[in-house]
């Protein structure tokens, strides 16, 4: 099986979870015998990726590609001034056009069985490849423009690209039922055309000789010794993540029970609002802002935490919850986060239900047995979905599609 995989990034040049998912999926597919040609928009070395061929569309560096923005599509497509990039391209649309023409050339002398395109960034190239080869197109939706734009309406050009690709695709992979529901209801796609293909999790990727250093968050460790519970969230501070609701819940917790603190690891345009809100609610001393964390500080943020909260208003999947489970956190996940669909040993809440969230946090803070139980149980199940299983599911879906098209 020859797969033309149309992607936007791969580790270590990824700006988010899209690259991680593409990497693991491709690797597992390759291990199960598939031959993969993976297209990226930039040029760079990918150490450790020898299981597939990587093709570069342009001489852009990964950094320049990052500058174009992946998540913040509304800004990058329309108004943002972008630095001149080699070859005279000015913005993400130019890069996408070049991506399309690269793919047009590429398929002329390659043998492709299926086309697998990830998110709006590569959907046009996927459509073109399908037109030229007649091979089935699988559109893999990791996030829609509705997710990226939060409560805003999003970029109409992006919506249009998504709409067209979802209509023309032979089959659509959605990373959760939440995402499938958006595709069905907001893009009007028949439900039977959309298959839920969850992300897997590879604990081995986090087993890199990491040791928790209790000195990194020494002050918080000091509080833990005094019996405090540390509740963490590790994310981008954007509206989509529902963090104002988490702060509201934190205030409700503080009014009932003193020994809980909240670690907000990350950064984003909502930071000042969150700082101000916690001051207004009189809980500044309970809320710790780290700024953007990477490397050890990032891993240690999970390790110092007892409980991880994902309060997203709209989260297609939510890989960080599985990372938190890996680090022995108990999980509280909004019902609007896809990852919750594959986990049982968690607390769930509607993102707006701050009473319930506060109640769940206090429950964990006041019952060591409950906390212990939830930690142990989630640790047993978080890695249940292996990428090998996901790859099998994809291969089987590719196959069905081929039969149908051949018939």
The SS3 assignment for 38 reads strand
Q: Which stretch binds another protein (CB under 8 A): 67-75, 82-90, 286-294, 384-392?
A: 286-294
Q: How far is the CB of 308 from another protein (least distance, A)?
A: 18
**What does the block give as tokens for 77?**
């497509």
Supply the minimum distance, in Å, between the C-beta of residue 285 and another protein. Answer: 6
Cβ atoms of 196 and 180 within 8 Å: the answer is yes
The yes or no reply on residue 216 touching another protein (CB under 8 A) is: yes
- Site membership for another protein, residue 90 (CB under 8 A): no
d(CA 32, CA 396): 12
Q: Which of 75, 185, 218, 404 binds another protein (CB under 8 A)?
A: 218
CA distance 111 to 241: 42
Give the H or E element holding residue 261. Answer: strand 260-265
Nearer to another protein, 296 or 379 (CB): 296
Q: Which stretch binds another protein (CB under 8 A): 37-45, 94-102, 215-223, 244-252?
A: 215-223
Write down the least CB distance from residue 253 to another protein, Å: 17
Evaluate whether 66 touches 51 at the Cβ level (below 8 Å). no
Out of 131, 160, 258, 285, point to the residue binding another protein (CB under 8 A): 285
Considering the complex, state which of residue 264 and residue 347 has its C-beta at the smaller distance from another protein: 264
Instruction: Give the nearer residue to another protein in terms of CB position, either 160 or 285.
Output: 285
- Interface with another protein in residues 288-327 (CB under 8 A): 288-291, 297
What stretches of 32-81 show up as alpha helix (H) in DSSP? 62-68, 73-77
**Which DSSP string do the residues of 316-351 spell out, in sequence order?**
S--HHHHHHHHTT-EEEEETTBGGGGG-SSSEEE-T
Distance, first Cα to last Cα, the chain: 19
Shortest separation between residue 213's beta carbon and another protein, angstroms? 11
Among candidate residues 159, 170, 125, the one with its CA nearest the CA of residue 5: 125
The residue range among 24-32, 136-144, 168-176, 210-218 that interacts with another protein, by the rule CB under 8 A, is 210-218
Site for another protein in 333-392 (CB under 8 A): none
C-beta separation of 155 from 74 below 8 A:
yes
Q: Does 222 bind another protein (CB under 8 A)?
A: yes
Nearest distance, CB of residue 293 and another protein, angstroms? 9
The contacts of residue 3 (CB under 8 Å, 6+ apart) are 29, 34, 35, 36, 37, 112, 113, 114, 115, 116, 398
| Count of positions on this chain that bind another protein (CB under 8 A) | 21
Is residue 276 a contact residue for another protein (CB under 8 A)? Answer: yes
Closest contact distance (angstroms) between CB of 273 and another protein is 9
* Binding window for another protein (CB under 8 A); candidates: 45-53, 219-227, 326-334, 391-399: 219-227
Contact range with another protein by CB under 8 A, out of 118-126, 158-166, 233-241, 276-284: 276-284
Q: Least distance in Å: CB of 215 to another protein?
A: 7
Q: How far is the CB of 279 from another protein (least distance, A)?
A: 4
Instruction: In the chain, count H helices and then E strands.
Output: 16, 13
Tokens of 330: 């108990």
Contact in structure between 30 and 24 (CB atoms under 8 Å):
no
Contact, 248 vs 279, CB < 8 A?
Answer: no
DSSP 232: E
Of 215 and 406, nearer to another protein (C-beta) is 215
- Selected range binding another protein among 102-110, 170-178, 271-279, 372-380, rule: CB under 8 A: 271-279
The one segment of 84-92, 236-244, 267-275, 396-404 that binds another protein by CB under 8 A? 267-275
Contact 329, 322 (CB under 8 A): no
* Cα–Cα dist 180/177, whole Å: 5
User: Of 111, 219, 400, 405, which one interacts with another protein (CB under 8 A)?
Assistant: 219
Nearest distance in Å: CB 262, another protein: 12
280 binds another protein (CB under 8 A): yes
Task: Please tell me whether residue 297 adopts helix, strand or coil conformation.
Answer: helix
Binding site for another protein (CB under 8 A): 215-220, 222, 271-272, 275-276, 279-280, 282, 284-285, 288-291, 297
């Amino acid at each position: 099986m020859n797969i033309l995989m149309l992607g936007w990034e791969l580790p270590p040049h990824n700006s988010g979870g899209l690259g991680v998912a593409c990497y693991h999926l491709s690797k597992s597919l390759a291990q199960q015998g598939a031959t993969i040609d993976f297209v990226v928009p930039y040029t760079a070395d990918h150490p450790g990726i020898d299981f597939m061929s990587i093709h570069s569309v342009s001489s852009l560096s990964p950094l320049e590609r990052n500058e174009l923005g992946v998540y913040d599509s509304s800004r990058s497509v329309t108004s943002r001034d972008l630095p001149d990039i080699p070859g005279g391209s000015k913005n993400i649309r130019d890069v996408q056009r070049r991506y399309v023409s690269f793919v047009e050339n590429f398929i002329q002398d390659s043998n492709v069985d299926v086309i697998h395109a990830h998110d709006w960034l590569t959907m046009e190239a996927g459509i073109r490849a399908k037109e030229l080869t007649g091979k089935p197109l699988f559109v893999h939706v990791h996030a829609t423009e509705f997710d990226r734009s939060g409560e805003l309406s999003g970029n109409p050009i992006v919506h249009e690209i998504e709409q067209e690709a979802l209509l023309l695709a032979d089959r659509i992979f959605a990373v959760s039922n939440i995402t499938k529901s958006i595709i069905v209801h907001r893009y009007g796609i028949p439900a039977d055309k959309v298959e839920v293909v969850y992300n897997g999790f590879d604990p081995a990727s986090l087993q890199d000789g990491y040791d928790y250093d209790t000195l990194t968050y020494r002050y918080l460790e000091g509080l833990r010794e005094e019996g405090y519970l540390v509740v963490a969230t590790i994310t981008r501070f954007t509206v989509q993540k529902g963090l104002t609701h988490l702060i509201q819940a934190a205030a409700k917790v503080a009014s009932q029970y003193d020994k809980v603190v909240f670690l907000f690891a990350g950064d984003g345009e909502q930071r000042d609002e969150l700082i101000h809100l916690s001051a207004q609610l009189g809980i500044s001393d309970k809320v710790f802002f780290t700024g953007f964390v990477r490397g050890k500080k990032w891993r240690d943020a999970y390790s110092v935490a007892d409980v991880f909260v994902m309060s997203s208003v709209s989260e297609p999947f939510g890989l960080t919850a599985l990372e938190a489970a890996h680090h022995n956190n108990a999980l509280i996940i909004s019902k609007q986060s896809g990852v919750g669909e594959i986990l049982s040993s968690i607390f769930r809440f509607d993102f707006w239900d701050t009473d319930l969230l506060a109640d769940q946090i206090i429950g964990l803070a006041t019952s060591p047995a409950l906390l212990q139980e939830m930690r142990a149980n989630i640790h047993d199940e978080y890695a249940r979905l292996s990428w090998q299983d996901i790859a099998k599911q994809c291969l089987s879906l590719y196959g069905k599609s081929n039969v149908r098209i051949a018939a």
